[in-house]
Homo-oligomer: A and B are copies of this chain.
């Protein structure tokens, strides 16, 4: 952190500030110039808050040099984090795909979907049991029952499952039934939830908040990791912009940025990013070649009858074709869909 002081600041005030900063555990390197005095903070400044310093009336400007996240920072952890779930590697050499319906709608349907997704080559089955809906009058998911159906569907088909958690009182149920726990876009800054998820060891799929900066997103990952759980998978799912032809705007550039700033794996969700079924395919392809580690795709046997988000779901047949396209592109990127020696069943 660099602190530029106002010209003409009296010595006593400078020394007061330096003392305050040193008390926070950093080394203060002072640079006296003719006009400006500049203080450079050396050491771990992640714990030094920028705002109170800016408020000080002798301070002209405060500049962060170091990113405020530490455990999620590639600088302090150069190799990629690889998370192993059900024999698959997320963030490693493989390119992975989680697919399935927006919501678990019935036991029969989710079991059918599990078989279809497995057969198409998907690595994980997605499906919501608890649905965050903007209207209290919309279908809210089957809840605990849905969780049980999902777990059974995954077990029967031999495909690990990922689903969204909405509150801390459900953590035990999720740990029991789920392979990857998803934190949705609306809960990306539900810090109480993040903290508690940091105390278990299940992989957490952290979706980007719809108006979260990349830095805020990584800070939310930091919340989880700082409590001990290092198995964080990021997921870009579109941000909110002025453009409203699409439901959200896929920030495809976030993929290379996050891969550079952090060692965590990054997936892309082309279904929520666009909200339109015929955009899933081109956006999925874009994600592969932009360097994502995988995809999260909504698939439904009958989108018209889907209890939620039918408009952005593709049919299994289209998904089969998409998997073939992805396979070609991922292999060009040096990322096969199957790990070496892994059989596609």
Contacts and interface: CB of A to CB of B under 8 A. Distances in A.
Interface string A276-301: 01110011011111110000000000
Contact of A33 (B29, B239, B243): B29
A193 B222 contact: no
A304 B57 contact: yes
Q: What copy number does this chain have within its complex?
A: 4
A75 interface: no
Contacts of A286: 252, 286-287, 289-290
A142 interface: no
Nearest to A133: B191
A306 B138 CA distance: 41
A42 B51 contact: no
B167 A192 contact: yes
The residue among A29, A134, A195, A308 with the most chain B CB atoms within 10 A of its own CB is A134
Interface string A118-139: 0000000000000011111111
B219 A245 contact: no
Contact of A38 (B27, B38, B249, B310): B38
A304 B52 contact: yes
A278 B304 contact: no
- Place the interface of chain A in its size category: 35 or more
A49 interface: yes
A231 interface: no
B278 A282 contact: no
Nearest to A56: B304
A34 to B, nearest CB: 5
B61 A65 contact: yes
A63 B243 contact: no
Given A31-B38, A166-B192, A304-B55, A63 B4 contact: yes
Interface string A240-256: 11111110011111111
A92 B135 CA distance: 28
Interface in A172-202: 186-187, 189-193, 195
A56 B306 CA distance: 11
B35 A29 contact: yes
Given A29-B34, A134-B219, A241-B241, 15 more contacts: A29-B36, A35-B40, A49-B138, A51-B308, A52-B306, A54-B311, A57-B304, A60-B65, A134-B220, A136-B227, A186-B189, A213-B243, A239-B241, A253-B273, A288-B289
23 contacts: A29-B33, A29-B34, A36-B42, A49-B138, A52-B310, A52-B311, A54-B311, A69-B135, A133-B191, A134-B189, A136-B191, A136-B223, A167-B190, A167-B193, A213-B245, A243-B251, A246-B257, A253-B273, A255-B282, A256-B282, A285-B289, A285-B290, A328-B332
